[in-house]
Amino acid sequence: MNIECPTCLVALREVRLGDLVLDECELCDGLWFDNGEPELLVTLASLPKNALQPLAFDDSRKAVPPGQRKCPRCHVVMKEWEWRSTHVDVCPTCRGMWLDRWELQKILAD
Q: Which is nearer to Zn ion, 42 or 80 (CB)?
A: 80
Q: Which is nearer to Zn ion, 40 or 63 (CB)?
A: 63
Element (H, E) at 44: helix 41-45
Which positions lie near Zn ion, rule CB under 5 A? Answer: 5, 7-8, 25, 27-28, 30, 71, 73-74, 91, 93-94, 96
On the CB side of 60, CA atoms within 13 Å amount to 0
Question: Which 3 state secondary structure label does DSSP give 60?
Answer: helix
Instruction: Quote the least distance from Cβ 73 to Zn ion, whole Å.
Output: 4
Instruction: Quote the least distance from Cβ 103 to Zn ion, whole Å.
Output: 13
Q: Which is nearer to Zn ion, 42 or 79 (CB)?
A: 79
Instruction: Quote the least distance from Cβ 5 to Zn ion, whole Å.
Output: 3
**Per-residue buried b or exposed e for 17-54, using 16+ beta carbons within 10 Å of the residue's own CB:** beeeebbbbbbbbbbbbbeebbeeeeebeeeeeeebee
78 DSSP assignment: P
Instruction: Quote the least distance from Cβ 46 to Zn ion, whole Å.
Output: 26
Q: Which is nearer to Zn ion, 11 or 45 (CB)?
A: 11
